Each structure stands twice: as structure tokens, then as C-alpha cells.
């Protein structure tokens, strides 16, 4: 039997299209398969649940990021492993996480903007290029890139989502299941 579970948070951050949702879902699945009580919080889904609508102004993004952080804190305090996929490129949110969430792990999926525009699964970069979208984080709005993440994954080129999860798994020694 593995060690007892203490709550933990895997805060997976990066710009839109960096692969956060895909990597986070694979990580959650692998953690569950290893016997951890795990929940996935995806920023796109949480935005709808918290009725944040289409307000992407910097102050609204910051407020929402703090909501995600407080939710992660509460769930981890109850012993859950939380995988959160969120842009949340705000220094004070990440500092709050480090100060208030034991077992906080910050993972930055770093992808060049040119690659994000090439992927463009949601059509956001094309909309930004045409002028139809004026509030895309990393293009129209400045972001505060992580200054001390626990792990940086350059999530492009030969790096697949599965390989990214392998790197997370190895970096944080996630081989043992909790009892």
C-alpha cells in the first residue's frame, strides 16, 4: 500500500492552445489509475460554472484566477489531488498558491505564439489576426509568465501530451498510489 494521501495541486498553466486541457486530462486519468482521489478543474469549464461569461478584461481574468486558486485550496485541504488547467498568467495568484496550498506544483506549458497560431484549435488566433477578437492573452493583453515554475515543458515539436505527462510523473515522483 502507498503513502497516505495529502491534498496536492498540479497547476498547469500556459497560453490558449498550449495543451493545458489535454495534458491535464491525461494526468488526471493516470493519477486515478494509480489510485489517487483526483479531480480535474479546467478553466474553460470553470468559466461557465462560475458564470464568468465573456468578460476577458485583465481585472476579470485576475478575479477568476483567484477563484480557481481558492477552489484548488479547498479541494486539496480535503485530501484530493487537484489538476487545474488554466491560463491564469498572474504573479500574485501564483504567489498566493505557493503561500497557501501545501503540495502546490506549478507546471508551465510553454509554446511559442507562432506555434499556438498554427494550432489554433478554437480559432482564437485567426480571430485576433482578423481583428474580430481584441482581448487574447499573450497577444492583446500582457501576461506574467511564471518566474519560478516547478516544471517547464516546451509543449511543441516532438513533445506529445503523453510525453508531457511522463515528464510530470517523473519530476514529481508520482509512482506510488495513496491508500
Is-catalytic flag, 16? no
Model pLDDT, residue 1: 42
Q: How confident is the model at residue 176 (pLDDT cuts 50, 70, 90)?
A: low
Give me the domains of the chain, ranges plus CATH numbers: 8-171 (3.40.50.300)
Q: How confident is the model at residue 101 (pLDDT cuts 50, 70, 90)?
A: very high
For residue range 37-81, what is the model confidence (pLDDT) as tens digits? 999 999 989 988 887 777 778 888 899 999 999 999 999 999 999
Rounded-to-integer distance, Cα 6 and Cα 27, Å: 17
| Alpha-carbon distances of 175 from 32, 36, 149, 159, rounded to whole Å | 12, 11, 21, 21
Largest CA distance in the chain: 56
- Average of pLDDT values for 21-35? 96
- Lowest-confidence range among 23-32, 48-57, 104-113? 48-57
Given a cut of 50, is residue 179 above it in pLDDT?
Answer: no
Model pLDDT, residue 117: 84
Model pLDDT, residue 177: 53
Residues in the chain, total: 179
Closest CA to 39 of 27, 47, 54, 50: 27
Given a cut of 90, is residue 91 above it in pLDDT?
Answer: yes
Model pLDDT, residue 57: 80
Helix, coil or strand: residue 27:
helix
47 burial level (CB within 10 Å; 0-12, 13-18, 19+): buried
Q: 56 CB contacts (<8 Å, ≥6 apart)?
A: 135, 137, 141
What would the grid cell of residue 156 be? 511543441
Q: What is the pTM of this model?
A: 0.90
Q: Give me the catalytic one of 21, 67, 88, 148.
A: 88
Count the helices and strands in the chain (H runs, E runs). 7, 5
Amino acid at each position: 500500500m502507498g503513502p497516505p494521501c495529502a491534498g496536492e495541486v498540479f497547476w498547469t498553466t500556459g497560453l490558449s492552445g498550449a495543451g493545458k486541457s489535454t495534458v491535464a486530462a491525461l494526468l488526471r486519468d493516470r493519477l486515478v489509475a494509480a489510485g489517487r482521489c483526483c479531480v480535474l478543474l479546467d478553466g474553460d469549464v470553470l468559466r461557465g460554472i462560475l458564470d464568468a461569461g465573456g468578460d476577458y478584461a485583465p481585472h476579470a481574468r485576475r478575479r477568476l484566477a483567484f477563484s480557481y486558486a481558492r477552489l484548488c485550496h479547498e479541494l486539496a485541504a480535503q485530501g484530493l489531488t487537484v489538476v487545474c488547467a488554466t491560463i491564469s498568467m498572474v504573479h500574485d495568484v501564483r504567489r498566493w498558491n505557493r503561500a497557501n496550498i501545501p503540495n502546490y506544483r506549478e507546471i508551465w506549458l510553454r509554446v511559442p505564439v507562432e506555434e499556438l497560431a498554427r494550432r489554433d484549435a478554437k480559432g482564437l488566433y485567426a480571430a485576433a489576426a482578423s481583428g474580430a477578437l481584441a482581448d487574447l492573452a499573450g497577444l492583446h493583453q500582457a501576461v506574467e509568465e511564471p518566474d519560478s515554475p516547478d516544471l517547464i515543458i516546451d509543449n511543441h515539436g516532438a513533445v506529445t501530451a503523453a510525453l508531457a505527462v511522463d515528464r510530470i510523473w517523473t519530476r514529481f515522483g508520482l509512482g506510488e498510489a495513496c491508500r
